[in-house]
Homo-oligomer: A and B are copies of this chain.
Amino acid sequence: MFYKKGYSAFQFRLKVVWTMLAALVTVCSVQAQELSSPNGNLQLEFKLQEGGVPSYTLTYKNKQVISPSRLGLELNNLPSFMDGFEIIDTQENSVNDSWSPVWGKQSTIENNYNELLVTLSQKEHNNRYIRIKFRLFDDGLGFRYEFPKQEELNYFVLKEEHTEFNLTGDHKIFWIPGDYDTNEYPYMTSTISEIPGLMEEATVQITAQRPIDNLAVQTPSMMKSSDGIYINIHEAALVNYPAMNLNVDAENFHFSTHLTPDAVGNKGYLQTETFSPWRTVVVSDKATDIVASNLILNLNEPTSYEDTSWITPLKYIGIWWEYFVEGKSTWAYGTETNVKLDQDFNELTPSGRHGATTAHAKDYVDFAAKHGIDAVLIEGWNIGWEDWIGNWKEEVFDFTTPYPDFDVEEVRDYAASKGVRIMMHHETSGAATNYERRLDRAFQFMKDNNYNSVKTGYVGQIIPRGEHHDGQWMVNHYIHVANRAADYEIMINSHEAVRPTGLHRTYPNWLAQESARGTEFEAMGGLDPDHSTILPFTRLMGGPMDYTPGIFQTDLSYYGSGNQRVNTTLVKQLAYYVTMYSPLQMAADLKENYERFPDAFQFIKDVAVDWDDSYYLEAEPGDYLTVARKAKNKNEWYVGGITDENARTSTISFDFLPPGETYIATIYADGKDASWNEKPQSYNIRKVRVTSKSKLKQQLAPGGGFAVSIKEGTKEEMKGLKRL
């Protein structure tokens, strides 16, 4: 038999190893295996504790970052992988190469690590064996469990993974509550020991949430030790496995994996050969190293797509923000609250406030064409919005039938004539089964109507009922959608999906995700001014976010009643296009508001969405972030700086510019009297000449930011401009 052959070969090798190791096995199982990062700053120690329990320790510059922590998995249908192990083989390997992503923050990514692969066997279970693979980069550790195909292990069901991350002190931590269904919590900032006392306050109400019963937080989990070491725990390459939360032992500062269960309480159905996702610990004493880290991307598989030329980063506007601005317009066409897909929607009672009309869509196409925006998202174009939420309804959308007042063909042809793309919208209401059974028809409809990108949404309780947004089944669903979309050359922007783990390397048409509290919450209670200074260290560690920045009219009482506001200055919204990395960037405000501030809007029009390189100039999670990026294949640079509720002065050098060249920098700055809650629209714009030797000292308002575009200029254009 095939696998028998494979097994026999391995058995043969084992036999050799065993013969060689003979009496050494006992020694080996207590002897620690050690591994260093390429620059020597990080040290990993792997060893078997008493009883054959695997464990690891991580040290940074001679300080323990992770104290001895156990590794193992509990199974539902078989003996566990928790103990009784012997080390029967170890292999080391070193890699130092680089690769080019289809799109990204850099056009070339270094991949430099030392690897340790440990094979662990359980004598009492017929020498059933697993492997643990450690990769130690200069900026952190990745490790995963590997389950080779073998006679003793073919199919198994996870009861729980018990990987520990034992921290060494009561670190400062940026956290949100553990939850199986949503990542859309506001961040808490506290020490680890303060988490229990804050959990109730942290667990705000969110549609279709399922907070974890025991004390747990989500990843990416960002921490800072009292001696200034930044530690970020997350996972990479989450495929065919449930997402991980972290159980918190707040007394001992110990974390452990808590996987998302399925409908019957199991945590994963695995078939050898297979792997867990990588567990990642990014470590540095510089906060900028954390946001600059490519460790998670490096641990993902290269794409298998043969042709990626159809995948293009893009900027878009949309019929969207108006749905959040009180009284403006609605996704739904009719006033009814009980509709079925097979009824005649022409017979509904129009509310008169339907957003996605043919005429309105054409207005947005005109605006996009005029300002060089690539695409227009139109939400609410399709039937089903009258009762889409809260009913755990399966047949909620069909993804192919427009409302009576939205003419797909007319909008398609009009947009094509203007060189603008329409972005499709597929809200599923959490009914993933309904989406899957209609997916081929939905994608074919997109091809037939010239759509090449789709925003997907998963608001609500999942169907299959009992499954969770972050469980194995849904993890596989999102990947299925990305894969199937690639067959149709369609790009994906998923909302309410499981938070990303670097899979955009493997599925580069999966451009961006939401999976966190984004701009929409500015219209639903507001985001704290420090929220966007935390996200790059948490949610964005896994991949790009469709944060939907660009709100110029931040005081929402402008639209009528209420005192709702977006808690930033106007200029901070500009800075987001650089600090919130994404190959897909929305200009989220109403077009009318951009028309009111054309000079500020110029930055959104100019800013790139794909980059040759990125420079992380200043960073402190929860406080501030300043980033510069070079546009892909262009001599253009963009700088974004943001601060939390505190005013600050950013001091940056332009040494990322090529030496000896002079460029024109346009600096968008908060007005002196600006702040997130008073005069947020006070700003000034100035042009100066800059070189690689230039320095900028820039004041940021409370809740403010600054943005800089740097371009080549003719002598004519440079004339009269001051040197910075």
Contacts and interface: CB of A to CB of B under 8 A. Distances in A.
A555 interface: no
A263 B433 contact: no
Contacts of A52: none
A343 to B, nearest CB: 10
Given A2-B347, A464-B473, 5 more contacts: A2-B349, A154-B338, A394-B473, A440-B441, A464-B465
A437 B393 contact: no
Contacts of A393: 155, 269, 271
Contact of A391 (B3, B271, B337, B338): B271
B464 A2 contact: no
23 contacts: A1-B335, A1-B336, A1-B349, A2-B349, A3-B336, A3-B337, A3-B338, A149-B338, A154-B337, A155-B393, A263-B264, A269-B392, A269-B393, A271-B338, A272-B338, A394-B476, A433-B433, A433-B473, A436-B437, A464-B464, A464-B466, A464-B473, A466-B466
Contacts of A466: 262-264, 464-466
A104 interface: no
Nearest to A440: B440
A415 to B, nearest CB: 27
Contact of A480 (B437, B464, B473): B437
Interface in A433-449: 433, 436-437, 439-441
Interface string A466-487: 1100000100100010000000
Contacts of A467: 263, 464
Contact of A433 (B1, B335, B394, B436): B436
B155 A391 contact: yes
A387 B465 contact: no
Contact of A465 (B264, B336, B337, B392): B264
B335 A2 contact: yes
A340 interface: yes
A555 B501 CA distance: 60
A348 interface: yes
Nearest to A481: B437
A314 to B, nearest CB: 28
A119 interface: no
Contacts of A473: 394, 433, 464-465
Interface in A497-517: none
B340 A262 contact: no
B263 A464 contact: yes
A168 interface: no
The residue among A157, A269, A387, A466 with the most chain B CB atoms within 10 A of its own CB is: A466
A699 to B, nearest CB: 54
A337 to B, nearest CB: 7
Contacts of A349: 1-2
Nearest to A1: B335
Contacts of A394: 269, 473, 476
Number of copies of this chain that the complex holds: 2
Contacts of A347: 2
Contacts of A269: 391-394
A55 interface: no
A338 B480 CA distance: 22
Contacts of A33: none
Interface in A320-353: 334-338, 340, 347-349
A203 interface: no
A371 to B, nearest CB: 39
A33 B266 CA distance: 52
A60 to B, nearest CB: 39
Interface in A42-90: none
Interface string A25-47: 00000000000000000000000
Interface in A240-275: 262-264, 266, 269, 271-272
A426 to B, nearest CB: 15
Contacts of A155: 338, 387, 391, 393
A473 B394 CA distance: 9
Given A149-B338, A436-B436, A263 B465 contact: yes
Contacts of A436: 433, 436-437
A333 to B, nearest CB: 11
A393 B240 CA distance: 12
A239 to B, nearest CB: 13
A77 B306 CA distance: 51
B154 A387 contact: yes
A3 B387 CA distance: 13
A476 B431 CA distance: 14
A440 to B, nearest CB: 4
Interface string A1-39: 111000000000000000000000000000000000000
Contacts of A336: 1-3
Interface in A511-531: none
A624 to B, nearest CB: 45
A653 B423 CA distance: 73
B465 A266 contact: yes
A269 B347 CA distance: 25
A470 to B, nearest CB: 16
A154 B433 CA distance: 22
B439 A348 contact: no
Contacts of A337: 1, 3, 154
Nearest to A391: B155
Contacts of A272: 338
Contacts of A392: 157, 269
Nearest first, the 5 closest Cβ-Cβ pairs linking A and B are A464-B464, A263-B466, A263-B263, A440-B440, A154-B338
A445 to B, nearest CB: 13
Contact of A437 (B154, B157, B338, B439): B439
Nearest to A348: B2
Contacts of A441: 440
Contacts of A149: 338
A465 B391 contact: no
Contacts of A340: 271
The residue among A2, A336, A347 with the most chain B CB atoms within 10 A of its own CB is: A2
Nearest to A432: B433
A351 to B, nearest CB: 9
A349 B393 CA distance: 47
A295 to B, nearest CB: 27
A155 B388 CA distance: 12
Contacts of A335: 1-2
Nearest to A437: B436
A272 B467 CA distance: 25
Interface string A439-464: 11100000000000000000000001
Contacts of A480: 437
